[in-house]
Amino acid sequence: MPSTDLVSGVFAASLTPMTPAGAPDHTMAVGHCRWLLENGCDGLAPLGTTGEANSQSLADRMALIEAIAAAGLPANRVVVGTGGCALGDTVALTRCAIDAGYPNALVLPPFYYKGVSDDGLFAYYAALIERIGDPQFRLYLYHFPQMSAVPLSPALIGRLRDAFGDVVAGLKDSSGDWANTKHLIDAFPGFRVFSGSEQFLADNVAAGGVGCISASVNVTAPLAARVLRADPADRAQLQQELTAIRTALQGFPMIPALKRILEWHTGNPGWRNVLPPLLALSEAEATELRRKIADFPLFRDEIALGAATASR
Amino acid sequence: MPSTDLVSGVFAASLTPMTPAGAPDHTMAVGHCRWLLENGCDGLAPLGTTGEANSQSLADRMALIEAIAAAGLPANRVVVGTGGCALGDTVALTRCAIDAGYPNALVLPPFYYKGVSDDGLFAYYAALIERIGDPQFRLYLYHFPQMSAVPLSPALIGRLRDAFGDVVAGLKDSSGDWANTKHLIDAFPGFRVFSGSEQFLADNVAAGGVGCISASVNVTAPLAARVLRADPADRAQLQQELTAIRTALQGFPMIPALKRILEWHTGNPGWRNVLPPLLALSEAEATELRRKIADFPLFRDEIALGAATASR
């Protein structure tokens, strides 16, 4: 038995359905995870930015990890987001994920203090690896400078790889800067680089990356899977279609928009709930969203249900 | 008995001494709080940015609140930092502070998501007030856009004051933008506005603000108190001296620099410990810091001890 399960392919940064009281709805969450795995996803990254992880209490995050494990979602198809501002919380969440059977963790840098040094970030990640102290653990760095405001430089990544080898297994690059992604793939052989958007999926795998972990894959999974598995002759056309959908969705607050589409997909209005400071789409935004996605055959069923909901 | 205790004057955003293992050192913390209250501070704001609150686990933050309460620090001299990214954690910390006898809380906006709407921030603070549901609770907003990257607009503050009155009691303005502080004092009568630096102390109280809550007050408290209590004829000169010290300190990573000065003040090298991603000052930085503060009579004792430590 290998000590870890490598992850690759099309991953959804999976949404967290919430109860009206603002707690994760485990039944809906597990149902959505299963739907994703059965409809094109190679895997899931729960409790990331899209999963509203940092808006959830520590206890809620741990309970969701355990609910996913109890549902039997396989270890080689899950990368759990475990990064917080406090090393102690990040250690506790990572330990919870490993104990639940998920050794692959996606870990933000500590994001409260800004302008911190690479030495300070190295100390943080080194302390995490040492305190976890488990040979199974695989760390995926999470580079999302627009949200964390704490970038992870290639120099820092190199130092971590030099010190800890393949324990520092990979990275999700949500910068939207393809040149940065390409540089990381080229600079660090064996380092497993995911793009943070399926808009770069074809480029990523052609360049030697391992796939994408993306918010919008919560609704584009079937098409993203076709891009990944397409013959070279067909891939460019399919990628163009996938990129057009991603681009359309980027005109809306991403998480509330994805949740609204899932309401249309499932008929369950519970999908509308988000945690503050996020807000559900306004009716005007929802109408505009329905109009925008009507251009795409992928959403035929959702458009029909969305129209039915709107006419109630 | 009044339902709350109003706070005003010179407040230190108090540092959290740490054990080598990275937990708050309660004995040192209480000792430092007592020293501040006996040496010029009207009050303390533990567990803010300076207190490395967001680098501490939830459990460690709660234990520190309880240690401060157990030491008998008075309610009208304490504003506890309780803001995190997750509403659930912020509610738990605020409840912990109120239960410990501290109804005044300094609360950051949720700071993971960037570019959020005023409607979303209003929803967050409104939910906090409603979930706390305690008439004693007094909310001090914490505006620190350079660190949180989530500004609190005057429009939002006005909406919160309109909805919740004096429960939304005041604000710490750490923007460094005096025009913003002045505008908030003028725009919201009865709103208790603290400057985030003692460099604005004289201006703040002259304009009708209630004082300062500042990192560097951890070492400047005796002089800051003299500024606050000075005759109008002497105040400008004393403020100039205080501002010069603050300006000198700003040339260094603030929290590690303050901790190094407290090591020199107390002779306790435990003061050097910080939590990642912060790092202790390098020896070169410490030497430069000692050289810089040697210009100021306030630090005569610290300079002597710093020199003795360096020559060991």
Task: Kindly give the residue spans of alpha helices, DSSP state H, lying in chain A.
Answer: 26-38, 58-70, 87-99, 118-132, 145-148, 154-164, 178-187, 201-207, 217-229, 232-249, 254-266, 283-293, 300-310
Q: Is the distance from CB of A78 to CB of A48 less than 8 angstroms?
A: no
Tell me what pLDDT residue A2 has: 40
What is the pTM (predicted TM-score) of this model?
A: 0.96
For testing contact with chain B, the best of A47, A52, A62, A85 (most B CBs within 10 A)? A85
What confidence score (pLDDT) does residue A11 get? 98
pLDDT at A173: 98
Q: How far is CA A97 from CA A215, A287, A298, B289, in A?
A: 21, 39, 34, 43
By mean pLDDT, which of A1-15, A240-254, B242-256, B269-283 is the weakest?
A1-15
Q: For position A1, what pLDDT does the model report?
A: 35
Q: What pLDDT shows up at residue A311?
A: 45
Give the residue from B43, B127, B42 showing the smallest Cα distance to B81.
B43
Structure tokens at B130: 């409603």
Residue B80: predicted pLDDT: 98
Region A159-167 average pLDDT: 98
Give the torsion through C-alpha atoms of A13, A14, A17, A18, to 10 deg.
Answer: -40
Q: What is the mean pLDDT of residues A182-189?
A: 98
Nearest CB partner across the interface for A110, out of B55, B86, B279: B55
Tokens of A97: 């994920």
Choose from A64, A89, A94, A282 for mutation: most chain B CBs within 10 A: A89
Does the structure's ipTM exceed the value 0.90? yes
Nearest CA of chain A to the CA of B71: how many Å? 25
**Residue A308 — very low, low, confident or very high, per pLDDT cuts 50/70/90?**
low
Cβ–Cβ gap B86/A55 under 8 Å: yes
Integer Cα distance of B116 and A205 in angstroms: 33
Taking the C-alpha atoms of residue A18 and residue B16, their distance in angstroms, rounded to an integer, is 36
Query: pLDDT category, A301, cuts 50, 70, 90?
Result: confident
Burial class (CB within 10 angstroms; exposed 0-12, middle 13-18, buried 19+) of B165: exposed
Min distance A75 CA to chain B CA atoms (Å):
27
Query: What's the gap in Å between the CA of A278 and the closest CA on chain B?
Result: 6
Q: Which tokens sit at A47?
A: 């409790």
A276:B109 CB<8 A: no
A112 interfaces chain B, CB cutoff of 8 Å? yes
Decide if A307 touches B, using CB distance below 8 A. no
- The DSSP 8-state label assigned to residue B137 in this structure reads -
Quick one: pLDDT at residue A309?
59
Residues of B known to be catalytic = 49, 112, 142, 172
Q: Is A172 one of the annotated active-site residues of the chain?
A: yes
Residue B194 and residue B171 in contact, taking contact as beta carbons nearer than 8 Å = yes
**Strand spans (E) along chain B:** 9-12, 43-44, 80-81, 104-107, 138-143, 168-173, 192-195, 211-214
- Provide the phi-psi class of A165: left if phi over 0, else alpha when psi is between -120 and 50, else beta: left
- Ranges of residues in chain B whose predicted pLDDT is under 70: 1-4, 303-312
Quick one: average pLDDT of A233-255? Answer: 96
From chain A, the residues in CB contact with B87 under 8 A are 22, 55, 57, 275-276
pLDDT of residue B4: 55
- Give the burial string for A110-137 (b: 16+ CB within 10 Å, else e): bbbbeebebebbbbbbbbbbebbeeebb
Give pLDDT, residue B53: 98
Q: Would you say residue A110 has pLDDT above 70?
A: yes
Of the candidates B56, B86, B277, which has its C-beta nearest A123's C-beta?
B277
Tens-digit pLDDT profile for residues B270-305: 999 999 999 999 999 999 999 999 989 999 877 666
Structure tokens at B224: 């800051």
Position A304 confidence tier, pLDDT thresholds 50, 70, 90: low
Q: Say if residue A204's pLDDT is above 80.
A: yes
